[in-house]
Amino acid sequence: MRDGFVKVAAGTPEIRVADCPYNARQCIELIGEAWQRGVRVLVLPELCLTGYTCGDLFLQDTLLDGAAKALQTVREATAHLDMIIALGLPVRAAGKLYNCAAVLHRGQVLGFVPKTRVPNYSEFYERRWFSGADALFSATVKVPGQEAPVLVAQQLFACPDVPNLTIGVEICEDLWASDPPSNALARAGATLICNLSASDELVGKADYRRQLVSGQSARLLCAYIYADAGEGESSTDLVFAGHNLIAENGAILAETRFTCGLIVTEVDVDRLMSERRKNTTFQSIYEEDLGEWGIARVTEADLKPADTVLTRFIAPNPFVPADHGDRAARCQEILTIAAAGLKKRLKHTRASTAVVGLSGGLDSTLALLITARAMDMLGRPRTDIVALTMPCFGTTSRTKSNAEVLAERVGATFQTVDIGEAVKVHFRDIGQSMEDLSVTFENGQARERTQVLMDVANRTGGMVVGTGDLSELALGWATYNGDHMSMYGVNASIPKTLVRHLVAYVADENEATDPRLSAVLRDILDTPVSPELLPPKEGEIAQKTEDLVGPYELHDFFLYYAIRWGFPPRKVYRLALQALEGTYGRETILRWLKNFYRRFFAQQFKRSCLPDGPKVGTLTLSPRGDWRMPSDAMATLWMNEVETLQ
């Protein structure tokens, strides 16, 4: 394992019903392929050494003896492999027959886990042959060449060389139960649930199965491997599709259906533990006293080089919906949540107006669109929005024109307040030269704009709607008591990449109904991100934010993994290389990663006194909500680690 990633697989061998030697060979072939691909945990289907559809042959000792010999064959063939393997077979114990998962490591049986509930269907199904394990805690099972392991209904499996990986096992219909075993397994510390299944295929069942697996992984904050029986099972009455699934915290990472073979991916147990640390439902997997729970620990071993190679998809824009088909619903939801927050604040304060500083840039555009939606929710005219453009030394004709057209198309009351003379007077008062284009030159304009907004809000009985976004808050790219301040910040939990996405969505939605609004939004999208605080060069924007602080695409990626998940710099860097190396080179990624950590720590004081604003996604930097950090915390540990990266 490296950086919390564990390579796992679900496999469906092509079997023959009741041909145990053949089935053992098929399983061994899949195990060998998984080993070559660096897999550490492999799950094979329910009763795969015999076939699930043996029927009354399960009552024949000949079949049961054949299954035991097949298990011995698999044990001997895998004695050299540092891999946890779960595969299914019938097991005799305590005078009963149980449908079990055998959990193997280096040729040793760590334990047999029985199916805890036999489905209460007709006698045609399993309860005709197998006993349920609800009342069973343990029984001994003789295995050639090994001390008798324990047959357990409640068993966890752990690897000392793979921190945070603790495995629980349930079998097929156990997942369909109202209280599946995985609930208790996860509460006891399991971060990975392995399900050995033989689920027959029916119309619509695949969707339901997929929802069950993804939903269970989300509820339990775990990874979930579902290995399904497939080709080779009897089709006398049923069809088995080999619907294999690997999920992590609600997301399907890998899937296959109507085929045999392996699906392989990595699960991120560090990510799961990051979530569990915030949830007191789960015990520590290192607790000494687990009550009736047992833990079987495998021996330590060196990792295979292939285990460090990531195959799972890493989204380059983690804040942006990856599924284009889901885009409209997601954008509508984000806009509605933000607008609902502003609606409540406007109603509570009885504000006569909502005052928005409109620069012609992305952030203020989104703030205006959200404010317009809030007014619609309140049943108030959009003329109650006061949109102010405040040109000064860096304003270009393009952004000024876009601000005016945008306000007109939205239906807001538009005003222009040229702050140039006021800023010059202020500079004379404090002795600031107009030729000194320093931070004072820039911030003086930002603070003057905020003063104008606040005073206009007072004059009109209104409140100032903030425009700053989550990315700017993370980097501290805001003037303290300038654009940093407002009476309600609607964009406060929306990162820059998502701001762009939302504005593009509104442009698309208005393409047919309001082409002028759509056109101005597209021009705003094409305008370089800039605070426009330095004089333009030949009429063009001279100050481009991403040239100064770095690409927002990178910073949003760093923000998501470093803050949302708490990953260390080495892992954030590795993920960025995986997701973005085709767009940015290693040197570029590393350069801006250093800048991200430096700025994030240095600028916390601005986040410690943020105005109120709605949380719309999984991350916010509000000091009253998700992020509580001292303003004088040192970045030494993080920067030291960044310096070691190459």
292 annotated active-site:
no
Hey, which of 104-113, 289-298, 496-505 has the most confident mean pLDDT? 496-505
- For 201-232, give one letter per residue: b (16+ CB within 10 A) or e: beeeebeebbebbbebbbebbbbbbbbbbbbb
CB atoms closer than 10 angstroms to residue 601: 18
Query: How many Cβ atoms sit within 10 Å of the Cβ of residue 528?
Result: 14
Rounded average pLDDT over 207-211: 93
- Between 506 and 327, name the one with better pLDDT: 506
- Report how far residue 92's alpha carbon sits from residue 62's, in angstroms, rounded to the nearest whole number: 13
More confident position, 394 or 29: 29
User: What pLDDT band is residue 300 in, cutting at 50, 70 and 90?
Assistant: very low
pLDDT exceeds 60 at position 344: yes
pLDDT at 382 over 80: yes
Nearest alpha-carbon partner for 11 in 82, 83, 62 = 83
* Residue 193 clears pLDDT 70, i.e. is over it: yes
In this prediction, residues 489-508 reach a mean pLDDT of: 95
Catalytic one of 27, 48, 115, 553: 115
417-446 per-residue burial string, b: 16 or more CB within 10 A, e: under 16: bebeebbeebbeeeebeeeebeeebbbbbb
The pLDDT score that the predictor gives to residue 292 is 45
Mean pLDDT of 545-563: 90
pLDDT at 645 over 70: yes
Give residue 151's pLDDT band: very low, low, confident or very high (50, 70, 90). Answer: confident
Q: pLDDT class for 138, splitting at 50, 70, 90?
A: low
What pLDDT is stored for residue 1 in this prediction? 67
Tens of pLDDT, residues 516-545: 999 999 999 988 776 555 666 655 655 566
Mean pLDDT of 607-621: 94
More confident residue, 132 or 623: 623
Q: What is the model's pLDDT at position 12? A: 97
Q: What number is the average pLDDT over the span 185-200?
A: 92
Task: Provide φ and ψ at 372, rounded to 5°.
Answer: -60, -40
Q: How confident is the model at residue 121 (pLDDT cuts 50, 70, 90)?
A: very low
When pLDDT is cut at 50, 70 and 90, the band that residue 181 belongs to is confident
Identify the CA nearest to 445 among candidates 540, 544, 531, 536. 531
Rounded average pLDDT over 18-31:
96
- Asked whether residue 294 carries a pLDDT value surpassing 70, the answer given is no
Please work out, in degrees rounded to the nearest 5, the angle formed at the alpha carbon of residue 90 by the alpha carbons of 86 and 92: 120
Amino acid 524: pLDDT: 92
The residues, any chain, with a CB within 8 Å of residue 546's CB and separated by 6 or more, are 528, 529, 552
Query: What whole-number distance in Å separates Cα of residue 193 and Cα of residue 186?
Result: 8
What string of H, E and C letters represents the secondary structure of 253-298?
EEEECCCCEEEEEEEEHHHHHHHHCCCCCCCCCCCCCCCCCEEEEC
Per-residue confidence (pLDDT) for residue 128, from 0 to 100: 85
On the question of pLDDT at 298 being above 60, the answer is no
Cβ–Cβ under 8 Å, residues 283 and 239: no
| CA dist 289 → 112, 159, 222, 400 (Å) | 22, 18, 22, 67
pLDDT at 122: 37
Whether the pLDDT of residue 119 is over 70: the answer is no
46 burial via Cβ count (<10 Å: 0-12, 13-18, 19+):
buried
Residue 272 has pLDDT above 50, yes or no: yes
Whether 144 shows a pLDDT value over 90: the answer reads: no
Judged against a pLDDT cut of 50, whether residue 485 lies above it is answered with yes
At residue 305 the predicted structure's pLDDT band, cuts being 50, 70 and 90, is very low
Whether 385 and 375 have beta carbons less than 8 Å apart is answered as yes
**What average pLDDT does the chain have?**
88
Q: State the average pLDDT over residues 589-616.
A: 96
d(CA 366, CA 490): 9
pLDDT at residue 52 is higher than 70? yes
CA 321 to chain centre: 11
pLDDT tens-place string over residues 429-473: 999 888 888 889 888 989 999 999 999 999 999 999 999 999 999
- Helix, strand, or coil here: 564? helix
pLDDT of 172 reads: 86
Residue predicted with more confidence, 400 or 263:
263
The pLDDT assigned to 564 comes to: 92
Average pLDDT on 245-260 reads 95
Residue 303's pLDDT is 39
- Indicate if 46 belongs to the active site: yes
Is pLDDT above 70 for 117?
no
pLDDT at 392: 85
pLDDT level of residue 506 (50, 70, 90 thresholds): very high
AA identity, residue 195: N
* 3-class SS letters over 436-451: CCCHHHHHHHHHHHHH
Least confident interval from 255-259, 300-304, 635-639: 300-304
Domains of the chain: 5-308 (3.60.110.10), 324-548 (3.40.50.620)
Per-residue model confidence as pLDDT tens digits over 81-102: 999 999 999 999 888 899 999 9
Set 27, 48, 172, 331: catalytic member:
172
Query: Would you state the pLDDT for residue 289?
Result: 41
Is 60 exceeded by the pLDDT of residue 290?
A: no
Whether residue 287 is predicted with pLDDT greater than 80 in this model: the reply is no
More confident: 423 or 323: 423
Quickly list H helices, 116-268.
181-187, 205-219
Q: Of 7, 20, 27, 46, which one is the catalytic site residue?
A: 46
Nearest to 151 by CA among 294, 36, 303: 294
Mean pLDDT on 72-87: 94
Q: Which helix (H) or strand (E) holds 604?
A: helix 604-607
Q: Give the residue-averaged pLDDT of 44-54.
A: 96
Read off the pLDDT band of 630 (50, 70, 90): very high
Residue 115 a catalytic site member: yes
The candidate with the shortest Cα–Cα distance to 21, out of 86, 85, 67, 76, is 67
- The average pLDDT across 105-134 equals 74
